[in-house]
Amino acid sequence: MRAWRMRHQCQDPGRPWAWLSRICRREGARLAARRRTAALPEGYEAAEPSRTDETVERLAVTAAEGTVKVRLHRARRQLERVLADEE
């Protein structure tokens, strides 16, 4: 609804995807922020525990795996050079 109401602000109506995705990201962040601050009524419990910590940890591990792969690749290349120089 927010995008529809603000459609006049789209600067390139022929290609609205970047504009629309920015609205979607901001709206998602706004809803997530509201959800974090809203308390459940007394007597209610969350249906499922929050997985935010798991998601953050998974993203950190994925980033670290990429770093490890790059470092291993560089180390192998350096080792190949050292071994080639010794021969």
What pLDDT was estimated at residue 37? Answer: 62
Instruction: Give yes or no for a contact between 12 and 19, defined as CB atoms under 8 angstroms apart.
Output: yes
Instruction: Give yes or no for a contact between 23 and 2, defined as CB atoms under 8 angstroms apart.
Output: yes
- Residue-wise pLDDT for 1-54, tens only, equals 777 887 888 888 888 888 888 888 888 888 877 776 666 667 766 566 567 777
Q: How confident is the model at residue 85 (pLDDT cuts 50, 70, 90)?
A: confident
- Residue-wise pLDDT for 71-84, tens only, equals 889 999 999 988 98
What pLDDT was estimated at residue 41? Answer: 66
- Supply the pTM of this predicted model: 0.37
Using CA atoms, how far apart are residues 28 and 8, in angstroms rounded to an integer?
21
